[in-house]
Structure 1
Amino acid sequence: MSAILTRRRLLAGAALAAGGIGLAACDPFGQGAGVTDVLARAETLTIWAQRLLLSNGALAREFTEADLSPVFRSNGTAKPDSEDYARLLETKFADWRLTVDGLVARKLSLSLDDLKKLPARTQITRHDCVEGWSAIGKWTGVPLGLVLQAAGLAPQARYAVFHCADDLEQSLDGSGRYYESVDLIDAFHPQTILAYAMNGQPLPVDHGAPLRLRVERQLGYKQAKYVMRIEIVDSFAAIAGGKGGFWEDRGYEWYAGI
């Protein structure tokens, strides 16, 4: 078990305990919020604790090329199973566009070449999966903050939501489209990038081609692959299950900080 994951569990445990104590103090008859509410309060305390210990600009550890993992597993979808994605892949993503919309001053439609013309950042970081494995990879892409600045954010903007090309399952409402989100603190973090290259090569399909999110201070399920659209919102209420992400709608924590 990695030290990072151990630290996260300790923080989460402390937050959960604190949340439980707070609820007990507010409800002497033991008939207050349920387990879900306790966990939600614990998550809020986890966010608070991490951002208290680490300033908003603190960087995740970066490594050298000598540290690169010889094998970097891919998880989740290995290749989106849709005709639209197949057509994009056949043309090497020449017709692919990243849409940026929602609470913005200017709706953007950016090609892969457009993104590659913007200032790039390369970072070698460790990917920590919630399943318990880790790997070190080299990522190159455009800082998300530059793209959001180009779009211009409305005053009420709070979150960036990443809509992806892959379907993991068909749920009761007929959708299984993957999506994720971060708040604007993480969106403008210097290590939060839209990666189009991995280990010096174009991003492989099983790792999210043509574009994936890298938000290095959070666990792997936040690193959305096959990004097609970034929607700026003030709330998740009208999006899918309303929890801010595919796995979050199915019980995971929205904030996966490490």
Structure 2
Amino acid sequence: MSAVLTRRRALLGIGAGTLLSACDRVQDFGPARRILDSGDAISHGLQRALIDRAALAPEYRVDQMSPVFRTNGNANPNTPAYGALAANGFADWRLAIGGLVARPLQFSLAQLRSMPQRRQITRHDCVEGWSAIGQWQGPLLGSLLKLAGVQSAARYVVFHCADQIGGAPYYESIDLIDAFHPQTIMALFLNGRPLDIGHGAPTRLRVERQLGYKQAKYVMGIEAVPSLAGIGKGKGGFWEDNVDYDWYAGI
């Protein structure tokens, strides 16, 4: 059975005809799923034990950038609320930071663009097998979380997004180690230009040591939480919940 057909079967319970918000390849692991799930946890632990928490993903030269950085996943949330924000150039959009923080905050697009920015040329590796090298720019996620004052009980940050699939809100999550990694940014620019809608405008996550499906687009809110239980189906992301993608997608 082809990977595409396998994915279509998996999506029957989510809603026919919806746009995909992750890459287009899913393997049908069958009864081996539980073994691989435990392997994911082992891989996570080994990487945490063996790799310096500040180890950087490879960065590239300008001449190594891909001529085209393809759009992956959803190309547009296609909701009235998002459409209204886009029509006004996202002037009314706000990025909310809440949950286990001392100071819940909201940032306008202008405020985010006025903050110190990190620019990095990195490779996007998609679970379906393609890669592209592009230049991303935006403020460090860790800087935003510090401004909000993440509380000691927090263990994860959850990204709530503007797009939906089959009526279910799209979300992703990472732990605080990756949230404070020096290459983890809320990207506002791709290849020197403001993000377009296809690439996640007005801001998307870039967590460079993980696979492409972790790079949440159309981020509306960031929530610091003690556990992933009770969020979606509790596995840490829309595709993790519904198609059994591994939560920790380290590369």
Query: Which TM-score bucket, shorter chain as reference?
Result: 0.7 to 0.9
Aligned counterparts, 1:156-195, within 5 A: 156-167=153-164, 169-170=165-166, 175-195=167-187
Instruction: Please point out which of 124, 129, 133 is paired with 1:127.
Output: 124
Tell me if 1:82 matches 2:75: no
Report SS of the residue matched to 1:247: helix
Q: d(CA) in 1 for partners of 2:40 and 2:110?
A: 39
Tell me if 1:112 matches 2:113: no
Tell me if 1:256 matches 2:249: yes
Report SS of the residue matched to 1:242: coil
Which residue in 2 is equivalent to 1:227? 219
Report SS of the residue matched to 1:85: helix
Which residue in 2 is equivalent to 1:91? 88
Question: Partner letter of residue 171 of structure 2?
Answer: Y
How much does 1:40 deviate? 2.9
How much does 1:50 deviate? 2.0
Tell me if 1:52 matches 2:49: yes
Instruction: Please point out which of 203, 218, 236 is paired with 2:228.
Output: 236
Q: d(CA) in 1 for partners of 2:187 and 2:74?
A: 17
Q: d(CA) in 1 for partners of 2:111 and 2:230?
A: 30
Q: d(CA) in 2 for partners of 1:52 and 1:197?
A: 33
Moved over 3 A (4+): 34-37
Aligned counterparts, 1:127-166, within 5 A: 127-166=124-163
| 1:34-63 per-position Cα deviation (integer Å, ceiling 9, x unaligned) | 855433321111012223332110000000
Question: Partner letter of residue 216 of structure 1?
Answer: E
Question: Partner letter of residue 187 of structure 1?
Answer: A
Which residue in 2 is equivalent to 1:245? 237
What fraction of aligned residue pairs are identical, expressed as a percent?
Answer: 58
Q: d(CA) in 1 for partners of 2:48 and 2:101?
A: 27
Report SS of the residue matched to 1:95: coil
Instruction: Please point out which of 67, 70, 73 is paired with 2:67.
Output: 70
Which residue in 2 is equivalent to 1:3? none
CA RMSD of aligned residues (A): 1.1
How much does 1:148 deviate? 0.3
Which residue in 1 is equivalent to 2:191? 199
Which piece of structure 1 moves more, 233-242 or 126-135?
A: 233-242
Q: d(CA) in 1 for partners of 2:224 and 2:141?
A: 12
| 1:116-160 per-position Cα deviation (integer Å, ceiling 9, x unaligned) | 121110000000000100000000000000000000011110000
Q: Which has the higher contact order (CA 8 A, sep 6+)?
A: 2
Question: Partner letter of residue 64 of structure 2?
Answer: D
| 1:82-130 per-position Cα deviation (integer Å, ceiling 9, x unaligned) | 0111111111000000000000000001101111121110000000000
How much does 1:236 deviate? 1.2
The unaligned stretches of length 5 or more in structure 1 are: 1-33
| Count of matched residue positions in the alignment of Structure 1 and Structure 2 | 220
| Greater Rg over alpha carbons, structure | 1
Q: d(CA) in 2 for partners of 1:103 and 1:90?
A: 33
